[in-house]
Amino acid sequence: MSETADRDATRVRDTVRESYAEIARNQASGRVKSRCCGGPNTVTTTAQAVGYSEAELAELPEGANMGLSCGNPTALASLKPGEVVLDLGSGGGFDAFIAGRRVGAEGRVIGVDMTPDMLSAARGNVEAYRASSGLDNVEFRLGEIEHLPVADASVDVVISNCVINLSPDKSQVWGEIARVLRPGGRVAVSDLALLRPLPPTIAEMVEALVGCVAGAVLLDETRRMVAEAGLVDVEIEEKSGYVDAMVEWEDPLFRKIIDALPEDLTPGEYITSASITARRP
């Protein structure tokens, strides 16, 4: 990576880290503020809109759901008892705690997040998870998804929810996913993707970056990166209804993005939520 590209990547990570630290601090203080992939109504509304059941949400520790989802990767992954799961960008532990119940006492879940405030929030939720589930199988590690603090070929499943799009080096992320998966292991990701390139005015907006939009790439580019990482059986499914729901939520962040779009095009013609699955041979 060139010196300029390295500086740009550092700027992106710093922007994302501080923005998500703010989300975690607001959550801790009771001032839930919609950012990234969440709607302003309630975090429950957001989660239900992308496929989580009432039962799954009811079992979560208070504060684990911060309304940052754009899909349900735990459902995509079809988790089985005894599996080792890695959650990239685990935030307050939302998907990690759901995964923990699915893999059971013989399984294990590792959440990785680069934001210390998010890591503190997740670790603070562990005790409530243990008390309600009777399980002690979830842990959280500080780290960047481009450089995972996880051993080679050590996990069965990698999940991620609206996070990879924020990375300034997505090819590196997919390479790391392939590295940590065991042979035959699989990945299930919910993410935002582009159907066509964004107008330059939007691509340059910091708000769009933190809102998971400016960092998104075209679906074909995602498919290429996954394949180049050595993963096979790549399947990508568009979930355009989520973007339509974002417009209906009237989130101020997305309202600003929408206002910058050409008048003859809707957000759903640019952006889609995508379910991405693949496996390591």
Q: Model confidence over 101-150: pLDDT tens digits? A: 999 999 999 999 998 988 999 999 999 999 999 999 999 999 999 999 99
Task: Specify whether the CB–CB gap between 162 and 189 falls below 8 A.
Answer: no
Q: How far apart are CA 20 and CA 35, in angstroms?
A: 8
**Which residue has tokens 């740009």?**
8
Instruction: Return the bridge partners of 280, or none.
Output: none
d(CA 77, CA 64): 20
| Angstrom distances, CA of residue 119 to CA of 89, 114, 214 | 10, 8, 25
8 pLDDT higher than 70: no
Cα(35)–Cα(52) distance, integer angstroms: 19
Strand partners, 271: 194
pLDDT beyond 50 at 40:
no
Task: For residue 280, give the nearest of 190, 194, 188, 160 by alpha carbon.
Answer: 188
> What is the percentage of the chain residues whose pLDDT exceeds 90?
46
Q: How many domains does the chain have?
A: 1
Highest mean pLDDT among 17-31, 99-113, 241-255, 259-273: 99-113
What range does the domain containing 31 cover?
3-279
Confidence band for 39, pLDDT divided at 50, 70 and 90: very low
Instruction: For residue 162, give the nearest of 27, 8, 38 by alpha carbon.
Output: 38
What is the reported pLDDT for 38? 45
Task: Look up the CATH number of the domain holding residue 266.
Answer: 3.40.50.150
Span 82-108, pLDDT tens digits: 999 999 999 899 999 999 999 999 999
